[in-house]
Structure 1
Amino acid sequence: MYKLVFFVPASHKEAVKEAVFNAGAGRIGNYDQCCWECKGSGQFRPQPGANPFIGTDKKLEFVEEFRVEMVCEDAIVKAAVTALKLAHPYEEPAYDLWKLECV
């Protein structure tokens, strides 16, 4: 089991969650579409050669984003990450993938 954590702008939060849920993430027992989310601020500065969804080269950008967390079974983790990348508006979406120990 893994925990998938990703950061997404509010404008695309539901679409990205739907794509990752459709890949099979967010299932706990007899429940599906389970996640935790909270609002925060992200920052980044595009470098030359980047193709940012928001912002311009060399200018520091601040954006309201959501942190979304959900569990992901071993068998579908690659599909969930692929779905995240395809649905996310950013050229390089930020995400973490943590291996969980189940007891």
Structure 2
Amino acid sequence: MFKICYFVPASHLEETKQAMFDAGAGKIGDYDSCAWQCEGQGQFRPLVGSNPFLGEKGKLETVKEFKVELVCDDELIVDALTALKRAHPYEEPAYEVYKLEYFS
């Protein structure tokens, strides 16, 4: 099992979550569409060669974003990350993947 965390502007929050759910992520036992999210502020500066969804090259940009966390079975991780990248508006989405351990 993996945990995926990603950052997305508010405009694409539901679209990215749904893409991940459709790929099978966010399932815990007998529940699906499970996620945790919180609102925050992201910042970035598009560099030469970039094609930014938001902001202008060379200028620091801040934007309301959400951090979303959800789990994903091992066999679905590649599909889930592919779905995230397709649904996400940024050229290079920021995301993290953690391998989870089980304890009884």
Aligned length: 103
Shift of 1:87: 0.3
Shift of 1:62: 0.2
* TM-score, with length taken from structure 2: 0.98
C-alpha RMSD of matched pairs (Å): 0.4
User: Are 1:73 and 2:77 matched, yes or no?
Assistant: no
Distance across 2 between alignment mates of 1:80 and 1:5: 12
Distance across 2 between alignment mates of 1:102 and 1:8: 29
Structure 2: runs of 5+ lacking an equivalent: none
Q: Identity across aligned pairs (percent)?
A: 60
CA deviations over 1:6-42 (Å, ceiling 9, x no partner): 0000010000000000000000000000000000000
Question: Which residue identity is paired with 1:52?
Answer: P
Runs of 4+ in 1 over 3 A off after TM superposition: none
Structure 1: runs of 5+ lacking an equivalent: none
Shift of 1:102: 1.2
